[in-house]
Structure 1
Amino acid sequence: MPPRSTAGKRAKAAQATTPLSEYSAKRTFEATPEPAPALAPGTGPLLFVVQQHSARQLHYDFRLEAEGVLKSWAVPRGPSLDPTQRRLAVQTEDHPYDYASFEGVIPPGQYGAGEVIVWDCGVYTPDEDEKHVHHDQHLYHDRKEAERLVLEGLAKGKLSITLRGEKLKGSFALVRTSDAKNWLLIKHKDRFTTEAAVIEQNRSVLSGLAVEDLKALPVRRIPASRLTPAGKPEAMPAKLQPMLAELRDAPFNHSDWAWEPKLDGYRVLVFIEDKEVKLRSRRGLDLTSSFPKLVAELAQQAVKGMVLDGEIAAFDAGGKPSFATLQERVQLKTEKEIAAADRTAPVVLYCFDLLHFAGLDLRAAPYSDRRRWLAQCLLPSPHVQLVHSAEDGEALYTAALASGFEGAIAKRKDGKYEAGKRSGLWLKVKSTQSGEFVVGGYTKGKGSREPLGALLLGHRSGGKLQYAGHVGSGFDERTLAQVKARCESLKTDTCPFAETPELHSPTIWVRPELVAEVQFQNWTPDGMLRAGVFLRLRDDVDPESVRRTEPRPTVQAAAARSTDTVVDDVLRQLENKKTAFPIAVGPHQIRLTHLDRVYWPPDQALKQPAVTKRDLLRYFARVSSFMLPHLADRPLTMIRMPEGIAGERFYQKHWDHELPAFAETITVFSEHKDERHDYLLCNNLPTLLWLAQSGTLEFHVWH
């Protein structure tokens, strides 16, 4: 056995040549929160990370995973997406893999003292072969070959790589200068180049904090293994069914949930295998041929195996989402028609989930990780975009409605992707109550509606089609002709419902293959839908999947202040002793007059004083939270007594004068009279008080 001193020298020499020895020698791990040295797990795509480091001078640390460690360069001016900017990158010691997710404060007196955030992170791949020929066949799926080419490029002093991060995307070059430690980080020309300074985006992609925030706020670290796509290896799925959301009545804010706008389009799963792209609808229909321009953009994702979940949306001339425009687009057949539609009515695919990437099943990972991986791995283009996500559900819901969207979707951050299941891990909040129904027949109408009076609707229950009522409102000339033509092709002599419904008009049965979306108030006690209005046909919904939609209160656009606060404001304003003045009801204004007018005279026997218009307004404001849910979305017939109960009475079904901006109406078709009529809806507090000002003492609504 050699002398102890010789053995100690050998051990020290061996330590000096092991990976991360320089990293370890510079740090005292009892004093710094930085991770201890450990090698990478060695699975999945290669990781890159950029950390913003506020040391003696603010700089950016650019790191690439290779050989089980993070090869590292300090970039004083930070990375750039401008190909004309050649950024100095000074090579530093290798860092451990776990350093990739490090955020925190390195204490004074320690090496590199200062604040550190993860400015960007994602996956990367070499994009040139040994002969420096650029190629589109990226190697996210082949870690061993990717790592070989990376090490070879670094040894030669020239490495070309493609980054997929949240801020940095596209091809970059690392080129060694004559000084072995000094390299240049240069952006290659591609569709991600821009002269805008990307370093102005100064917040962490993990915590959302800026470096200066770390002086006062703690940061919660996540394992580095969760920074990039991770999951069980699997072959590229041939088919998947989308996860569906449960219905809820109102948006909310909670730290466990994130929110996205609910788009009014076609739900699709996108399967990408190299240059081959397939678009499949919610019911499994192949929509690939309907969107050639979209497919061409998706073919540029440059990955061997990727499955996206998203929604295809079309927009009207005003820039608002238009399901009718999209539906017309899907029905086009010839290449010439489709090419013309690509020019005049382009569509956008909004992506909101990543289910498979480069041979990995991501569906068991929590939503928060899948969302981060989607933001990294998706290469956006003009018609392929990442959907917006936010923490504030109430604000996002309001903004979504203002932009013409259906509502909002809440997703639990720790929830996995439950393919083919309607799950409580996703919740949808819509501005109107609507449901999907199977069309089982239609009735003849009268006059101009003779070809089609109403659709007979049902839903699946116990393997049978249960009758759920009819809908005759909501059609215009175009949709009437469209629905009639679709029904004509499905005519049958057999009633498709489990029990033949009671019929009052000539009826034609159809095979139960069409699905209609219908807005309605709620269900009657005997299971019929109430006050239905036809919205559209849903070719993307499988008729076998249609189930009864349970009732819920209609959600109105969120107000800037709570209802209780608005009511308190109204009551305070009614303390004004004047008999005529305007009051503010939230953002709206109502002109009040004759507030001292007696609506109910005093009753001596009951010792009841006179009740004035002012008293009625106070009463309506106080009971509005109980009264409005009963009135909401129901066509209203009013009995008005402007002079009080002793004066003249007016029975009023329609309002012929101009309505205030806050008052809503609904158009109802009368088969009996072959006419359309607009009915008033009392859906909010301003409308309720405005009707009281107009002398409305009785409110009669449809049941």
Structure 2
Amino acid sequence: MAGSGSTLDSALEEYRRKREFSGTPEPEGSVRKRRKRTSAPRFVIQKHAARRLHYDFRLEIDGVLKSWAIPKGPSVEIGEKRLAVETEDHPLDYADFEGVIPKGHYGAGRVIVWDTGRFHVEDDALEGYARGKLSVELEGSRLKGRWSLVRTKGGDAKQWLLIKSRDDSDSEQTPPRPDEDEQSIISGRGFDELDQPERAAPSEAPDASKVPYSSAESTHDLPDEARQAPFPELKPLIPQLVDEVPKGDGWLHELKLDGYRLLAEKRGDEIRLFTRNRNDWTARFPDLTRQLAELACDNAVIDGEVVVYNSDGTTDFQALQNALKDQEEAELDFVAFDLPYFEDHDLTRVALPERKALLSRLLDASRSMPNVTLGEGIVGQGEALMEKVCEMGVEGVVSKRLDARYASGKQSSWLKTKCINNDEFVIGGYTEPQGERRHFGSLLLGYYEGEQLIYCGRVGTGFSAKALSSLGAQLRDLQCESSPFQRGPERDISRLARWVNPELIAQVHYTTWTRDGRLRHPSFQGLREDKRPRQVKRDIPERASMASRKTPSSSSRTARPSSSKASPEVRLTSPDKILFDKHQLTKQDLADFYQDIGDWIMPYLVRRPLSLLRCPDGDTGECFFQKHPQSTFSDPVRTLAIEDEEVLYIEDLAGLLTLVQYGVLEIHPWGSTIDDPDRPDSLTFDLDPGPGIAWPALVEAAKILRNILLTLGLNSFAKLSGSKGVHVVVPLTPQAEWREAKSFAKAISQRLAREMPDTFIATATKAKRHERIFIDYLRNSKGATSVACYSTRAKGEASVAVPIRWKELSPRLTPAHYRIDTLRSRLGSLRSDPWKGYWECDQTIDHDMLEALES
């Protein structure tokens, strides 16, 4: 299958091999990184008069256009099936291609764009493509509604069927048949007119927002509120920070991006890019400037943000900063979200939906701008969107009042709500490095109150090796003799500090503010260059705290084992000792983390025998497992004799924090409690990938195991191990003894290994595990353990074992996706437990199940 599981270069290899670009007008296509955008992906249907007339159906998936040739055109009647033959992947630039491919070249003939727009899928499009079943909802100018693409079984793997599906809407209006519309939806030309200039699109095109502009004729369609005005010198509208997404249908909610806010100004053929302070950054973005010069208008001001996307669709400020400093390659995108000025007209008094519609039409009419996209959002449903984006690890949501005008400066008509607190702070000093850290230890941060720089904490995590080196050199050049802080750090920090002139601004993620005005759990994201230090103020939300709004209450977990919610007084010796070296996380950081998530982790720990991985000198030092008591443990860690074995267990949060005091970085409980140690209340299948097994294969394996368990009537739950595997956990009513439980788990594992020997193996022999997944059932015996839900792992990334919903398990995650510094935002955004129903699950294993597995 073209393009699947390969880099983009190889995905376009067949496309390029078939074409001689010196003789064909088709685009060669630029290398694009795969990542999600803020807008829905694009589709295009091109009418292609080659040797035989056909229609090319293309979907933007994984950085390219997945393509199918449909001889009779798309199906339009519900249930109607059309043959769709998969062809080579095409570059995204091809979506705008119209023209004549000369004779003698591959695909010679005439091509027009018959329809184009956006499409939506319920699940991951790449996963559906790989499975051979895609359900898409098209939002085009001519085609609107649902279609299914299904790969035929047997025979040629490139043969698919395109089937028109029934829509949820009440409308039964049939889309136009391809042979009823002979003209291009974007240029208005037919095949015979491709040698002529473009003209207006057909008047019957139903979606006026898709009709492109002609700069000479566009202004007569402007809203009444648009006023003719000279070209302005604008500053952007700045959203006000709040801690609750506004309710109601009067708001448009968009993803909050983590980049540089810019105003793109087009005056004739000239493009200029300005920061919020009117600094000219045009020279920093030559490729985006070239693309924006293709805007289909004479003059305009577009408000947007330059970002770098991660592969999971989130934006990465540090990658953006590194790209600007030529420290690493990254693709830059300009996300456009407002149009305050257009074609000699001031649009600031025009309502937001109309400004957005004008912007959408402008971008759709403009060619050769693959890295300029429309920032889209949803009206209403703000709380649901907030929950979703916080689960994704996105910074937050920007909410914009639909009826508000555009005005420069901070306005209450735009509100920002954060999952992750993310602000700028002035750097006033640094501390010397410890351990293996080089250049500096932590940065001393502050903000301005009037003319005074107020100290608010230090940040020692989030630095790459390049950032440490580069920033260290800058700090040495800025050293000064005295502290720039009017209200400075504590005495023990000041004694070790090196002061600098307050000229650099750090962008920092953090969880909250402490009562004494310090940042809690800060993490460095990069330096900001688009603000002046004295503009950095403390940004205080205007409503009740997010933490109190978002933390799930204990009443939703009434079936869980109870644990104390008190804040225990556990004395930590050497609280500044580094336990996770890469991120410079201390013993105090780990204790704070567990105290913050106590309601989540304690039900999986209380009154269970524990095996502990202790690393007294941190994750880079010597670590060892401890299962039996030592006199060094203090009272909150308790002991009990089970038969002839002394075991450790805890009753409450004080016990957990005591484990931190003794350098415990991993907690592995039994699958039974001390009250009923001989009968398990859960089974754990650890799917351990051998060499050569990629993460998507592990995801699919976990779902196969889940399905087998379901056929036996057993519900199961997924957990990211925090290391390299996935745990599939089966809750049980304590009834069967350990011997029966182990036999059952072994039978499951052996059945999978027997039926899918190329995928699974049920023996622990490492020599046989190459390119196969070991189903570790050996954890299901008395005294065996597996890592606890929400326990940290003694890994360099400070990762955490995290329960997730089955629908979240996808190639977009990794086993170590969540870390100490990112898990709080996920938990704070959840409305319900990802393992909802786990503690109420009433199910047992029996002899009939075992017989069914062995038959």
Letter in 1 for 2:449: S
1:313/1:519 Cα in 2 relative to 1: closer, same or farther (>3 Å)? closer
Note the alpha carbon deviations across 1:191-244, whole angstroms, 9 max, x for none. Answer: 9999xx998x866869xxxxxxxxxxxxxxxxx98854853333222x422111
CA shift at 1:324, angstroms? Answer: 2.2
Determine the structure 2 residue equivalent to 1:285: 279
1:288/1:240 Cα in 2 relative to 1: closer, same or farther (>3 Å)? same
Determine the structure 1 residue equivalent to 2:594: 636
1:318/1:468 Cα in 2 relative to 1: closer, same or farther (>3 Å)? closer
Note the alpha carbon deviations across 1:595-618, whole angstroms, 9 max, x for none. Answer: xxxxxxxxxxxxxxxxxx4xx27x
1:189/1:283 Cα in 2 relative to 1: closer, same or farther (>3 Å)? farther
The 5-angstrom pairing of residues 451-600 of structure 1 reads: 451-504=439-492, 505-550=495-540, 553-554=545-546, 570-571=557-558, 574=559
| 1:233 equivalenced with 2:228 (yes/no) | yes
Of residues 407, 412, 415, the one that matches 1:418 is 407
Determine the structure 1 residue equivalent to 2:420: 432
Deviates more, 1:286-295 or 1:637-646: 637-646
CA shift at 1:405, angstroms? Answer: 3.5
Task: Tell me, in whole angstroms, the C-alpha distance in 1 between the residues paired with 2:305 and 2:822.
Answer: 34
Name the SS for the 2:341 alignment partner: strand
Note the alpha carbon deviations across 1:283-338, whole angstroms, 9 max, x for none. Answer: 33322122222111111114332111001111345654322221112123xxxx9x
Determine the structure 2 residue equivalent to 1:213: none
Task: Tell me, in whole angstroms, the C-alpha distance in 2 between the residues paired with 1:409 and 1:645.
Answer: 45
1:299/1:402 Cα in 2 relative to 1: closer, same or farther (>3 Å)? farther
- 1:409–1:426: 8 Å Cα contact kept in structure 2? yes
| 1:274 equivalenced with 2:262 (yes/no) | no
- 1:634–1:681: 8 Å Cα contact kept in structure 2? no
Letter in 2 for 1:519: H
1:555/1:530 Cα in 2 relative to 1: closer, same or farther (>3 Å)? closer
1:357/1:689 Cα in 2 relative to 1: closer, same or farther (>3 Å)? closer
- 2:317–2:525: 8 Å Cα contact kept in structure 1? no
- 1:665–1:680: 8 Å Cα contact kept in structure 2? no
Letter in 2 for 1:242: P
- 1:440–1:509: 8 Å Cα contact kept in structure 2? yes
Task: Tell me, in whole angstroms, the C-alpha distance in 1 between the residues paired with 2:267 and 2:419.
Answer: 38
Name the SS for the 2:283 alignment partner: helix
Deviates more, 1:437-446 or 1:545-554: 545-554
Task: Tell me, in whole angstroms, the C-alpha distance in 2 between the residues paired with 1:171 and 1:434.
Answer: 44
Task: Tell me, in whole angstroms, the C-alpha distance in 1 between the residues paired with 2:338 and 2:257.
Answer: 14
| 1:663 equivalenced with 2:786 (yes/no) | no
CA shift at 1:401, angstroms? Answer: 4.8
Name the SS for the 1:636 alignment partner: helix
CA shift at 1:499, angstroms? Answer: 3.8
- 1:633–1:681: 8 Å Cα contact kept in structure 2? no
1:450/1:387 Cα in 2 relative to 1: closer, same or farther (>3 Å)? closer
Name the SS for the 1:315 alignment partner: coil
Task: Tell me, in whole angstroms, the C-alpha distance in 2 between the residues paired with 1:531 and 1:82.
Answer: 53
Name which one, 1 or 2, has greater alpha-carbon Rg. Answer: 1
Task: Tell me, in whole angstroms, the C-alpha distance in 2 between the residues paired with 1:632 and 1:251.
Answer: 30
1:635/1:317 Cα in 2 relative to 1: closer, same or farther (>3 Å)? closer
CA shift at 1:384, angstroms? Answer: 1.1
Determine the structure 2 residue equivalent to 1:116: none
The 5-angstrom pairing of residues 191-206 of structure 1 reads: none
Determine the structure 2 residue equivalent to 1:353: 338
Task: Tell me, in whole angstroms, the C-alpha distance in 2 between the residues paired with 1:460 and 1:168.
Answer: 57
Determine the structure 2 residue equivalent to 1:376: 361
- 1:635–1:681: 8 Å Cα contact kept in structure 2? no
Of residues 348, 365, 379, the one that matches 2:350 is 365
1:666/1:271 Cα in 2 relative to 1: closer, same or farther (>3 Å)? farther
Determine the structure 2 residue equivalent to 1:181: none
1:689/1:315 Cα in 2 relative to 1: closer, same or farther (>3 Å)? closer
Letter in 2 for 1:393: G
Determine the structure 2 residue equivalent to 1:299: 293
Note the alpha carbon deviations across 1:26-60, whole angstroms, 9 max, x for none. Answer: xxxxxxxxxxxxxxxxxxxxxxxxxxxxxxxxxxx
CA shift at 1:276, angstroms? Answer: 0.8
Of residues 313, 321, 330, the one that matches 1:327 is 321
Determine the structure 1 residue equivalent to 2:159: none
Report the structure, 1 or 2, having the larger strand content: 1
Name the SS for the 2:513 alignment partner: coil
Determine the structure 2 residue equivalent to 1:242: 236
Task: Tell me, in whole angstroms, the C-alpha distance in 1 between the residues paired with 2:467 and 2:359.
Answer: 38
Letter in 1 for 2:360: A
Gaps of 5+ in 2: 1-95, 100-109, 114-140, 143-182, 211-218, 566-588, 609-634, 640-649, 670-718, 721-788, 797-818, 841-855
Of residues 399, 406, 428, the one that matches 2:395 is 406
Determine the structure 2 residue equivalent to 1:9: none
- 2:319–2:330: 8 Å Cα contact kept in structure 1? yes
Deviates more, 1:258-267 or 1:397-406: 397-406
- 1:496–1:510: 8 Å Cα contact kept in structure 2? yes
Task: Tell me, in whole angstroms, the C-alpha distance in 1 between the residues paired with 2:416 and 2:456.
Answer: 23
Note the alpha carbon deviations across 1:576-623, whole angstroms, 9 max, x for none. Answer: xxxxxxxxxxxxxxxx8xxxxxxxxxxxxxxxxxxxx4xx27x98xxx
Name the TM-score, length of structure 1 as normaliser: 0.52
1:231/1:667 Cα in 2 relative to 1: closer, same or farther (>3 Å)? farther
CA shift at 1:411, angstroms? Answer: 0.3
CA shift at 1:529, angstroms? Answer: 2.5
Q: Report how many residues are paired.
A: 435
- 1:436–1:517: 8 Å Cα contact kept in structure 2? yes
1:422/1:689 Cα in 2 relative to 1: closer, same or farther (>3 Å)? same
Letter in 2 for 1:466: I
Note the alpha carbon deviations across 1:642-679, whole angstroms, 9 max, x for none. Answer: 2798953552224414794473869999xxxxxxx969
Task: Tell me, in whole angstroms, the C-alpha distance in 2 between the residues paired with 1:274 and 1:645.
Answer: 73
- 1:520–1:530: 8 Å Cα contact kept in structure 2? yes
Determine the structure 2 residue equivalent to 1:164: none
Determine the structure 1 residue equivalent to 2:31: none
Gaps of 5+ in 1: 1-79, 88-118, 121-166, 175-183, 207-223, 575-591, 593-612, 621-630, 670-676, 694-703
Letter in 1 for 2:309: F
Deviates more, 1:493-502 or 1:321-330: 493-502
1:265/1:255 Cα in 2 relative to 1: closer, same or farther (>3 Å)? same
The 5-angstrom pairing of residues 93-172 of structure 1 reads: 171-172=187-188
Task: Tell me, in whole angstroms, the C-alpha distance in 2 between the residues paired with 1:186 and 1:266.
Answer: 43
1:424/1:193 Cα in 2 relative to 1: closer, same or farther (>3 Å)? same
CA shift at 1:438, angstroms? Answer: 0.8
Letter in 1 for 2:593: P
Q: Please tell me the root mean square deviation across aligned C-alpha atoms, in Å.
A: 5.0
Determine the structure 2 residue equivalent to 1:54: none
1:226/1:680 Cα in 2 relative to 1: closer, same or farther (>3 Å)? closer
Name the SS for the 1:278 alignment partner: strand
Letter in 2 for 1:472: G
1:483/1:256 Cα in 2 relative to 1: closer, same or farther (>3 Å)? same
CA shift at 1:277, angstroms? Answer: 0.7
1:86/1:246 Cα in 2 relative to 1: closer, same or farther (>3 Å)? closer
